[in-house]
Chains A and B, each alone.
Chain A
Amino acid sequence: MSNSNGATNMKYDSLRAGAVGGGVMRTLSFISLVCGTAIIVFPLLWMVLVSLLTPDRAQAATVSGDLTKLFPNDPQWNNFSDALSQMGSVRWKGFFDALANSIVVTTLVVTGTVLSSSLVGFALARIRFRGNNALFLLMLGTMMLPGQVTMIPLFLLFRNLGWVDTILPLVVPAFFGSAFFIFMYRQFIAQVPEALVEAAKVDGWGWFGIWWHVMLPLCRPVTAICAVFTFIFTWNDFLAPLIYLHSDEQATLAVALNSFRNQYGGVNKVNLLMAASLVTMIPCILLFLVAQRQFIEGLGKGAVKG
C-alpha cells in the first residue's frame, strides 16, 4: 500500500516537475518571441513615430538623440501629403509619375516572371527530351553568379540595343524566367501526378494547353510565393532602376525616394522622408497580408484517390 502510495506521489511529483518545466519553457519561448517581434517591429514603429513629428522634434529625436522627443504630442498628419507632393520638381507630379512607373514595371515583371518560370519549370519537370537534366543544371549554375558580375556587360548590351532610360531593361529579362523560381516550379510540378497530364493529353490538349489550364492553376501556392517575392523585390529595387532609368519621368518610387532623400535627407526634414517611405511600403505590406494564405494552402488535394 505504502509502495503504491509512494509510486503515486512520485508520479505526481514528476508530473508537477514536468508542468513547471513546461511553464518555464513556455515563458522562455514567449520572451524570445516578444524580443524577436520587438526587433522586427521597432524600426517600423520608429518610422511611424518620426513621420508624425514636427521638424524640430524630429531633429531633436534623431540627431540630438533625445528619445523623449520621439513620441509625437501633436501628430502631424499633413506630413504625408507634404512629403508626397514635394517629391520631384513639380508639385505632386513626381510622386504620381514614380507611382505609375513602379506599378507598370512591377506588374510586367511579376507577370513575366510567373509565366516564364512556370512554363520553363513545367517543361523541365514533364517533357522528356535529350539534355533536360544538363539544361536544368546549367540553369541552376546561373544562380551561383553574383548579380554584380553581369551588371556591366548587361548595361553595355542594353545600351547597344538603345534601351537605356526605358523600362525595357527592367522588364524584358523577367520574361526569360528566374532560375530560383524555375527551380521551385519544377520541384512542385514534379509532384503533380503524371496521370493528370496524361488525362489532359487524352482530352485533346497539347503542352501549352496543359500548362495553362492544368498546371498553372495547380501551382497556385508556388505562383503566390513567386508573385509576392518578385513584387516586393521589384517594388523595392533601387539598383537596377538607378542604373537604367536616368530621367525624372522614368524613375520608380524607390529611385524617386532617393532623390527626395538627397533633397530632405538632411537633419531638418527626416520626418517627411519617413512619411514618404511609409507610403511606399504600404503595397508590400498589404500584398503580403492578402497572399499569405496562399503560402500555406496546397491545392493538390483530391487529384487522385487518397
Chain B
Amino acid sequence: MATISLDRVGKIYPGGVRAVEGVDLRIAHGEFTVLVGPSGCGKSTLLRMIAGLETITEGVMKIDDLVVNQLPPQARDIAMVFQNYALYPHMNVHDNMAFGLLRRRKFPSRLKSIFSGSYNSGRKTEQQEINRKVTAAAATLGITQLLGRRPAALSGGQRQRVALGRALVRQPKVFLLDEPLSNLDAKLRVEMRAELRMLHRRLGVTMVYVTHDQEEAMSLGDRVVVLKDGLVQQIAAPQEIYSKPANRFVAEFVGTPTMNMLEGSLTMKDNWATFASKSLQFQGVVSAWQPLAPRGAQSAVLGIRPEHVLLNAAGGMSATVDAVEHYGDRMDVVVQASGQRLVARCGPDASIHEGSTISVAVDLTRAHLFENNQAGMRIG
C-alpha cells in the first residue's frame, strides 16, 4: 500500500513568497493523480515537496501513515522522472538505471561481509540481481538494445524511456513525474501518454504527475488537481472537472477552445431562465437553476462550452462568422453576435463561411453559471 496524504500543506520561501497554500489531498494506493495549472501555480513545488526536494513549511505530509515532513528524498522510497530527464551523462543506460539499486546494501552489512569473507560472493549475487532487474525494466520499456549507450547518443523519446526505466527499476512506493513529456514532439507525446497510462495500469502503483497541459491532465489522470497561485481550485475526476468546474478559473483553464464567458444578469421565474448580456438574451427552461429564483435579478457569468453553442439553429440570434478553423474531424467557428464574441464547435461538413451571417443559439441546460466576482464560484 502506498497512500499519500497532505494536510494543510504549504510552502513559504525564505523571502516570504508563498508558493503553495493549505493543500488538503488524499491520494489512494494505485491512483494516478495529476497536478495541473498554469506556470507559477505551485504544482512543481508541491511535487518536489512530496519528493523531499523542497522543505515543507506548513502542514503535515504522510506517505503510508509515516510523517515525511523531515525525511530526505532517499528515505521516502519514491522515484522521480524529471522534466529534463536528468540522466547521468557519464554512465551508459544500464548504469543509469542501476544507479539507484547500488545503494540498497547498507554500509555495516557490507563491512560485516568483508570480514566474514563473503564480500565477493555477496557482491556477485547483488550484481546479478541488479542486472536482472535492469534487464526486466528495459524489456518492459522496449529499450533493451540501448543499454550500452550513453545518454548523449539517445533521442528525446529514448531518453524519456530511460528516465522512466530508472524510476521503474527501483520498484518504489510512489512515482513522481514532473512534466515528463513536455520536451517531446506532439506525436511522440501522445504515444508516450498512452504508454504511461498502460504502464500505470500494469504496475498498479501510485503516481503523481505534474503538467501544465490540461489535455494531458484530462487524458491521464484518475483524478485531477487544478492549482492556481498555490491554491487548490478543484480536485475531481477529469469528467467532473470538465462538466462541473468548481469556478470560473477551472472552467476557462480546462477545455479547448476555452469556454465562452458572458457577463450579464440572470432572472429566474420558477424554472424559466432569462440571461441578458448587453443586447444578447438567452432564455430556456433550466430546472437546475430553480433554487436561484428567490434572489431575483442577479449579476452572474454564463459559461458555455463551444460544443454547446448551436449554429444555424431555429429561433437563434443573428451572428456574423469571423473565422472558421478546420481540424478535419470538426470545425471551430468564431462568431460575433451583438458585439459579443462566441466560439462554437460543429461537425466538419457544416456549410459555414467566413463573413456569412448565421443564427446562433445556446443550450442553457448545459451552460454553467458562476458568481460575477473575483472568486467566480460556480452557482449553477
B188 at the A/B interface (Cβ < 8 Å)? no
Residues of B within 8 A of A300 (CB): 89
Q: Tell me the nearest residue of chain A to B51, going by C-beta.
A: A202
Given known A302-B153, A303-B151, A305-B84, contact A202–B89 (CB-CB < 8 A):
no
User: Which B residues between 53 and 83 are near A, CB-CB below 8 angstroms?
Assistant: 53, 72-74, 78-80, 82-83
Query: B93-127 toward A: CB 8 Å interface, digit per residue (1/0)?
Result: 00000011001100000000000000000000000
A178-212 vs B: 1/0 string, CB under 8 Å? 00000000000000010110111111111001000
Contact B84 A193 (CB under 8 A): yes
Q: Are A301 and B82 in contact (CB under 8 A)?
A: no
Q: A203-B100, A205-B103 are in contact. Are A195 and B86 (CB under 8 A)?
A: yes
Among the 9-residue stretches A73-81, A213-221, A239-247, the one with 4 or more Cβ atoms under 8 Å from chain B is A213-221
- Asked if A195 and B89 make an inter-chain contact with CB atoms under 8 angstroms apart, the answer reads no
B245 to chain A, nearest CB (A): 34
B150 within 8 A of A: yes
CB distance from A278 to the nearest CB of B (A): 38
Given contacts A198-B51, A199-B166, list 16 more A-B pairs with CB under 8 A. Answer: A195-B82, A195-B84, A195-B86, A196-B86, A196-B88, A201-B53, A201-B72, A202-B100, A204-B103, A205-B103, A302-B87, A303-B87, A303-B151, A304-B86, A305-B85, A305-B159
Whether, in the assembled complex, A299 has its beta carbon less than 8 Å from a beta carbon of chain B, the answer is yes
B365 touches A (CB below 8 Å) = no
Which residues of chain B are near A203, meaning CB under 8 Å?
Answer: 74, 99-100, 103, 166, 170
Instruction: Tell whether, in the assembled complex, residue A202 and residue B84 are in contact, meaning their CB atoms are under 8 Å apart.
Output: no
Report how far A180 CA is from B189 CA in the complex, Å: 46
Mark each residue of chain A from 11 to 30: 1 if its CB lies under 8 Å from any CB of chain B, else 0: 00000000000000000000
22 A-B pairs within 8 Å (CB atoms) are namely A195-B83, A195-B84, A196-B86, A199-B86, A199-B87, A201-B73, A202-B53, A202-B73, A202-B80, A203-B74, A203-B170, A204-B103, A205-B99, A206-B74, A209-B103, A218-B89, A303-B86, A303-B87, A303-B88, A303-B151, A305-B84, A305-B85
Q: Are A302 and B103 in contact (CB under 8 A)?
A: no
**Contact between A204 and B100, CB atoms less than 8 A apart:** yes
Q: Shortest beta-carbon distance, B134 to chain A, in Å?
A: 13
Selected from A196, A204, A220, A299, the residue in CB contact (under 8 A) with B74 is: A204
Partner pick for A302 among B53, B74, B152, B166, CB 8 A cutoff: B152
The count of A-to-B residue pairs whose CB atoms sit within 8 angstroms is: 83
CA gap between A303 and B154 in the complex, in Å: 11
Question: How big is the B interface, by class?
Answer: 20 to 34
Partner of A214, one of B79, B88, B154: B88
Report the minimal beta-carbon distance from B44 to chain A, rounded to whole angstroms. Answer: 12
Determine the distance from Cα of A53 to Cα of B68 in the docked complex, in whole angstroms: 78
A304 / chain B contacts, CB cutoff of 8 Å: 84-86
Chain A's closest residue to B82 (CB) is A195
Residues of B within 8 A of A199 (CB): 80, 82, 86-88, 166
- Min CB gap A221→B, angstroms: 12
Judge if B38 is at the interface, Cβ distance under 8 Å.
Answer: no
B residues adjacent to A (C-beta < 8 A): 51-53, 72-74, 78-80, 82-91, 99-100, 103-104, 150-154, 156, 159, 166, 170, 183
Q: Which chain B residue lies CB-closest to A306?
A: B84
- Tell me, rounded to whole Å, the shortest Cβ–Cβ distance linking B172 to chain A: 9
CA distance A220 to B159 in the complex (A): 23
| Complex CA–CA separation, A15 to B352 (angstroms) | 61
A217 and B92 CA atoms in complex are apart in Å by: 13
Residues of chain A lying within 8 A (CB to CB) of residue B79: 202
Specify the chain A residue showing the minimal Cβ separation from B83: A195
**Chain B residues within 8 Å of A204, by CB:** 74, 100, 103-104, 170
Known: A204-B74, A214-B88, A304-B84. A198 touches B53 (CB 8 A): yes
Identify which of residues 210-266 in chain A touch chain B, using a CB-to-CB cut-off of 8 Å.
213-214, 217-218, 220
On whether the beta carbons of B86 and A193 are closer than 8 Å, the reply is yes
Closest residue of chain B to A303, judged by CB? B89
User: Closest residue of chain A to B90, judged by CB?
Assistant: A217
B235 to chain A, nearest CB (A): 25
Distance of A210 Cα from B313 Cα, bound (Å): 66
* Docked-complex contact A198 and B90, CB < 8 angstroms: no
Across the interface, name the chain A residue whose C-beta is closest to B74: A204
Interfacial chain B residues near A302, Cβ < 8 Å? 87, 89, 150-154
A198 to B85, CA, bound (A): 11
Min Cβ gap B278→A in Å is: 48
Give A304's nearest chain B residue, CB to CB.
Answer: B84
Q: From residue B107, how far is it (CB to closest CB) to chain A in Å?
A: 11
Closest Cβ neighbor of B182 among chain A residues: A305
> B152, A198: Cβ atoms under 8 Å?
no
B301 → A minimal CB distance (Å)? 41
CB neighbours (8 Å) of A198 from chain B are 51, 53, 73, 80, 82, 86
CA distance A303 to B51 in the complex (A): 21
Complex Cα distance, B83 from A193, in Å, reads 12
The answer for the CA separation of A267 and B4 in the assembled complex, in Å, is: 85
Residues of B within 8 A of A220 (CB): 90
Bound Cα distance from A193 to B91, whole angstroms: 16
Residues of A within 8 A of B88 (CB): 196, 199-200, 214, 303
Chain B contacts for A196, CB-based, 8 A: 86, 88
Residues of chain B within 8 A of A201, CB atoms compared: 52-53, 72-74
Q: How far is the CA of A238 from the CA of B77 in the complex (A)?
A: 54
Which residues from 134 to 155 on chain A have a C-beta closer than 8 Å to any C-beta of chain B?
none
- Whether A202 contacts B78 by the Cβ 8 Å rule is yes
Nearest residue (CB) in B for A219 is B90
Set of chain B residues within 8 Å of A200, measured between Cβ atoms: 88, 99
**Residues 253-306 of A at the B interface (beta carbon under 8 Å):** 299-305
In the complex, A248→B247 CA distance in Å?
Answer: 87
Contacts of B170 in A (CB 8 A): 203-204
